[in-house]
Amino acid sequence: MARAATVLVPGASAAVREQAIAALLATPPAKVSATPVPPGTAQAPARAFDAVILEGLGVAATPLESGPGLQVVRIAPGCLCCDGNLVLRVTLNRLLRQRPQRLYIGLASSEHLDQLRSWLAAPPYDQLLALDPTVHA
C-alpha cells in the first residue's frame, strides 16, 4: 500500500491555512510508478482523492469544500497532540481506511509541531503516512 503524502500546515488564522492548503492542492501530485499487472489479470482502478483535516471553525468563503477528489474534515479546536489527540486519531484512522493519495493537516498553532510530527512518524502511522516538510502559512 502506498503511503499518503502528508503535509502539516500551521498558520495564524483559518483563512490563511485554508488558502495555503488550496494552493498546495492545485499542484499535481507526484507520479507514482505503477506496479505491472500480469496479462489477463483484472485490476479495478484506484479512486484517487486527497484529504484535509482542519482544526477549528472554518471561514465564510472557504476555498476547501468536500467534493469529488477531495474530502475535508473539521475537528474541534485544541492542541492536536494534547487535548485533541483522541479526536485526531479517530479522524485520521477513518480517513486512512479510504487511502487518500495526499493528506493535509491544518493546525491553529505550531507550538507542539515537533511532538505531532514525532507521533505521526511512529507506528502505526509510519507505514501509512509519508511526512513531507511542514508548510507554514
Each domain of the chain, given as residue ranges in start order, spans 4-27+48-131
The full length of the chain comes to 137
pLDDT in tens, the chain (137 residues): 689 999 999 998 899 999 999 999 998 876 543 344 445 544 444 568 999 999 887 777 788 888 889 999 999 887 776 766 888 999 999 999 999 999 999 998 888 899 999 999 999 999 999 999 999 98
Q: What cell numbers appear for 134 in the block?
A: 511542514
Grid-cell match 486519531, residue found: 89
pLDDT for 109: 86
According to DSSP, the residues that pair with 4 across neighbouring strands are 129
pLDDT for 46: 54
124 preceded by cis ω (within 30°)? yes
Nearest to 73 by CA among 92, 99, 59: 92
pLDDT for 107: 92
Q: What is the CATH number of domain 4-27+48-131?
A: 3.40.1010
Instruction: Give yes or no for a contact between 137 and 23, defined as CB atoms under 8 angstroms apart.
Output: no
Is 73 strand, coil or helix?
A: strand
d(CA 17, CA 45): 32
φ, ψ (nearest 5 deg) of residue 88: -65, -45
pLDDT for 35: 40
Single pTM value for the model? 0.83
d(CA 39, CA 48): 23
d(CA 38, CA 117): 38
